[in-house]
Structure 1
């Protein structure tokens, strides 16, 4: 069972909106829905839409407010429940377009899933029940209702309009490498937490390619379901036209180039998402540590799985992170990888670590411990889940003198020298088997951007250049006269370290206790 929020943007639909909303009541019969929320946003209609919405609400026992509270240009007009459906009626003081109405409604969404439903009669909510079923059975992140995938019924109408839709879908598929049949469909259902984490900026029908491209860039598991479609003519009130088609072309180009796919959050998701635009660099990192990986692997700080995909398959592989958005993406990888498990693991909390019989033979922890206050305790936690002959692969930023604005924006609390890294490992119960000096070519760029120019973000062009030149960097890196940007330590537990218990946040580490 799940819950569904239905977002209904309305503009000048006085003749159709009541019937369209009444159709939503068919969802009450769905065996997969325990709660339904319908959020209706009147985008400052100029016809009789407001009066029709009021009559509809009052027929269902929803109290209508003459002068509802207004916040950021949005007026609350009604809120109440009828059967299994919670109704919310909002009104824009000024017309803002479909995209803005969707953002207004999305801010109020509380269901686990969210879908867009137009206020006309082209789409029928009976198809939403089948869309919801896909989420329940297939671990989908998004499900599109396709008008061109062989539904039971489809009105034969507007051939040239369909050609335009198919062309825009083709272009979107080209830039995303996702084989959709109907990008322009209104019925786009998405997991609510995922949808809320995507920055939507389009105010008109450019919303359709924007949302599709950004979902693809977020590596969402997208499915399609055939739906019925009863299109209407322009004489019957259809609003989208050829001008919107040209706007969509520009939108496809714009969002194909852009990598703004995360809203700002406490985890720095957008910054790390940009770094993921260098898959060749990630492959270089994976190739460097792969020879040291065993068959029972715990990866801490997996992000969206850039490294995970390159290190599997293994007998057992547990990918972990603390960012709920990343965990959602990682869970999508488990569907066809039975050896892969995903869990929330906080490196500072020993009780959050997963356990396997005999312990993990490898713990991979890249670019993590420099973010935490107690790096000693974190390494001891890693030691606690390793087998007696296991290995910890730890990557940290090198060079305290390089600490600058880029480290600040990434949340780095420190950079290491080889000496401090070795001392840290010893204090945590490890012996250092090997230290690899990684990415000398990155040292000048980091120094220039973080120390001289004091930049607080990575330019997209810089990341794409890094990705393009990585094959060359791999060949010349060891020949360059620069210090490494990162150190990779291969650690083995010592006998003394085996006796130490996991460390909880606030508990002093071994080095702290010794100092005390």
Structure 2
């Protein structure tokens, strides 16, 4: 099965090379689509040097728009499985094999890499991030009628059916909840597998704050009520 990795990237010149090398080490021969979201640094140049296919936005459009561009690009490239993988070194390429296994074995249409399934992984998560994710996941599950443990995870996999079914209209961080909502709405089979997330000071600052959390809840509520497409 053809696997394509979608890596959203905005001003990630400090980590994009290591992220791509982690992918190659943990999942050799990976087909990677880096979506450069209007970066003002050398993100695009470095990604090209590392052998990735790069799709670029002229301006910064946000995580949701970037994932939509990457997923659509992977569909056009006839991917059987599409994996989303952050460029900030939070994820390990070694987790991809387990992530895609439920799809390969036809047990699931989508798989979410969860940081909440193993105690040792959960202990690494900053307390504020842990509480915010727990709260947003509960709210997302309520509206989406799903039972996931980590709705805000950036490491996910979709089969072709799920990738084509979901409709991404959120431009920013609310896309994570929107994806779970869309999978539930479309009746996709969802599984979760444990993943290890690594946190440094930079990644801790990038986490969802209270203000963003409220925006995410508001956006997914509007979609649930069909006030937005």
TM-score by length of 1: 0.41
Alpha-carbon distance, 1:239 to partner: 5.5
Shift of 1:234: 4.4
Q: 1:127 aligns with which of 95, 107, 131?
A: 95
Q: Distance in 2 between matches of 1:153 and 1:257?
A: 35
Give the superposition deviation at 1:256: 2.0
The aligned length equals 226
Matching residue of 1:48:
42
CA distance in 1, matches of 2:171, 2:228: 17
Could you list the structure 1 runs, at least 4 aligned residues long, displaced by more than 4 angstroms after superposition: 151-155, 234-237
Residue of 179, 184, 201 corresponding to 2:152 = 184
Would the aligned equivalents of 1:14 and 1:48 in 2 still touch at CA under 8 Å? yes
Residue of structure 2 aligned with 1:156, choices 124, 149, 154? 124
2:66 to 93, 98, 101: 101
1:347-401 deviations in Å (ceiling 9; x for gaps): xxxxxxxxxxxxxxxxxxxxxxxxxxxxxxxxxxxxxxxxxxxxxxxxxxxxxxx
Larger radius of gyration: 1
Q: Which has the higher helix share?
A: 2
SS in 1 for 2:141: helix
Please, which of 17, 33, 40 is the counterpart of residue 39 of structure 1? 33
Give SS of 2:88's match: coil
For 1:170, the equivalent position in structure 2 comes to 138
Q: Which runs of 5+ in 2 are unaligned?
A: none
Gaps of 5+ in 1: 30-34, 58-86, 262-516
| Higher share in strand | 1
- The 1-side partners of 2:117 and 2:12 are apart by 28
Which residue number corresponds to residue 4 of structure 2? 5
Distance 1:254 1:230 in 2: 33
C-alpha contact 1:173 1:179 (8 A) present in aligned 2:
yes
Name which structure has the greater RCO, CA cutoff 8 Å, separation 6+. Answer: 2
Please say if 1:147 is aligned against 2:97. Answer: no
Change (3 A) 1:102 1:235: closer
Instruction: Report the aligned-residue RMSD.
Output: 2.3
The TM-score normalised by the length of structure 2 is: 0.89
2:164 corresponds to which of 196, 207, 213: 196
Offset at residue 241 of structure 1 (A): 3.0
- Classify 1:8/1:244 alpha carbon distance in 2 versus 1 (closer, same or farther; 3 Å): same
Partners of 1:10 and 1:100 in 2: CA distance: 12
